[in-house]
Amino acid sequence: MHTCNGTRLWDSLMDMAKVGPTAKGGNCRLALSKEDREGRELFAGWCREAGMSIHVDAIGNLFARLPGRNDTLPPVVMGSHLDTQPKGGRFDGIYGVLAGLEVVRSLQDKGIQLERPLEVAVWTNEEGARFTPAMLGSAVFTGELPLEKALASCDADGISVAEALEQTGYAGDLPLGREFDAYFEAHIEQGPILEDAGLPVGLVTGGQAICWLDIEVRGQAAHAGTTPMPLRHDALFGVGEMITALEQLSRDFAPKGLVTVGQLQIARSSRNTIPGHVAFTLDLRHHEDAAIADMEANARALIDQVATKRGLEVQINRHWLSPATPFNPACIDAVRKAIEGLGYPYQPIVSGAGHDAIHLARHCPTTMVFIPCVGGLSHNEAEDALPNDVTMGCDVLLNAVLTRADRR
C-alpha cells in the first residue's frame, strides 16, 4: 500500500484558504467570481508543475490531465469543487480537488505511471450560492441540465453564467459528456456520524433520495385587535401546526428519514395584521426511494388536514426530486480494499448531502471517500478537519485510484 505526502496536502489546503478569506477563518469564493478565478489559477499552476495539462469545457469545468501509458483509454477522474458558500469553510469541495492533485504528486514522487490517464476535475458552481441550480457544472457535463439553460442562469446582480465565464476566461471548448472510466470524489462528511464513531474514513455506498416541496398557505389577513380568535383564518398559526406535524413525520421514518423547513416567508407582514399568506419550503430525505415517496405522500396529507381544519387554502408544488443513487460496486470495493489494506478503521455511510458525484454516478462508475469534519460542521466559516484524517482519506483515494487506473 502507498501513502501520500500529508504535509504537502495540508500546506496546499492552507495556501488555497488564503484566496478569498473571511473574517472568521473561512472562505468566500463564489462561482466564477474574481476569487474563484484566483483559486482556479493557483490550482492550475500546481497542476502544471506536476506535469499535467489544463483543459476547460463550455460550462467552465476545469480538468487537469496526467497522461497514462495508454493515453487513448478513458481517464480515471478525481475531483470536486473550489467554489464556496458566501461564508463557507476551507475544506468543503476543496479537499476533494487537492486530494486528487496530491494523488498525482505522490505518483510522480514514486515514479509510477499508470496504464490509464488520470484527471482532476474542478466542477463549476457546485454550491449553488451564486447561480442556480447547485451542482450546475456536473449537471451540464452529464447531460442532466441543458447547456443553454445553465448559461442563461443569472445571479442576484443579473449577471449570467455565460457573462461570468467570459469575464473570468473560463469559457472553454473541451467536449461535454466525455467518456470516463470511473470517478472518485474525496470529501468531508459535512455531518457528525464519523466523528461521533471515532472513525477517520467513511466508505460511501451512495447518496440518499431528496424531495423538495414548495408550500403556499392562504388564509385571510385581518385586524389583529378586532378579529376574535375563533373567527380567524390565520395562515401562520396554520403553518405552525403543519410544521409540528411534519416534525412528527421525521420520527415516523426514523432514523433514516429527515425533515427540514428551511425557509418561511410571511407576505406583506405587519405587526398588527393577522397573516393571510405564508410560504415555506420542505426538504425530505431518506436512503430509499420507496420511503421518500411515502414521506412525500404523508407530508401532503398532513398539510391538507391542517388546512381543512382551519379553513385555509393550500398549494403544494414539488420543486425537485433526486432519487437515491447507489454507487458502483466495483469502485466501492476498490475503496474498501484500500482502506482495509492500509489498516484504517471505517464504516459504510450514505451521503446525506448532494455532491457532483451524484450526477457522475449516472454517467460512469462512481464512488466517494469521506473523512470527518470537526463537530460535523460545514457551510460555516468554522468548518475544520484534522490533518491526520485529511492524510488518511487521501491515502485511501491514492490506492483505490491506482488499482482502478492501472487496468489495461
Is 55 found in the same domain as 109? yes
Is 269 found in the same domain as 285? yes
Local structure of 310: helix, strand or coil: helix
Determine whether the annotation assigns residue 173 to a binding site: no
| Residue 211 DSSP label | E
Number of neighbouring beta carbons within 10 Å of residue 300: 16
Is 243 found in the same domain as 336? no
Determine whether the annotation assigns residue 127 to a binding site: yes
User: Which residue, 274, 306, 322, sits at the end of a domain?
Assistant: 322
Residue 320: the pLDDT is 86
Q: What is the pLDDT of residues 79-98, one digit of tens each?
A: 999 999 999 999 999 999 99
Is 335 found in the same domain as 303? no
Would you say residue 197 lies in a domain? Answer: yes
Q: Which residue has the cell 486528487?
A: 100
Is 129 found in the same domain as 25? yes
User: Which residue, 280, 302, 322, sits at the end of a domain?
Assistant: 322
Closest of 298, 315, 310, 322 to residue 246, by C-alpha: 298
Residue 333: the pLDDT is 98
- pLDDT band for position 155 (cuts 50, 70, 90): very high
Q: What is the pLDDT of residues 191-245, one digit of tens each?
A: 999 999 999 999 999 999 999 999 999 999 999 999 999 999 999 999 999 999 9
Determine whether the annotation assigns residue 379 to a binding site: yes
Determine whether the annotation assigns residue 286 to a binding site: no
Is 218 found in the same domain as 69? no
pLDDT above 90 covers a percentage of the chain that reads 98
Is 111 found in the same domain as 88? yes
Would you say residue 230 lies in a domain? Answer: yes
Number of neighbouring beta carbons within 10 Å of residue 378: 23
Is 236 found in the same domain as 384? no
Please give the mean pLDDT across all residues of the chain: 97
Is 227 found in the same domain as 158? no
Instruction: Return d(Cα 111, Cα 232) in angstroms, integer.
Output: 76
Determine whether the annotation assigns residue 187 to a binding site: yes
Would you say residue 1 lies in a domain? Answer: no
Is 338 found in the same domain as 302? no
Would you say residue 269 lies in a domain? Answer: yes
Domain span at residue 194 reads: 6-208+324-405
Is 283 found in the same domain as 194? no
Whats the size of the chain, residue-wise? 408
Is 244 found in the same domain as 194? no
Say if CB 190 and CB 376 are below 8 A apart: yes
**CATH no. for residue 270?**
3.30.70.360
- pLDDT band for position 123 (cuts 50, 70, 90): very high
**CATH no. for residue 367?**
3.40.630.10
Residue 322: the pLDDT is 87
Domain count, the chain: 2
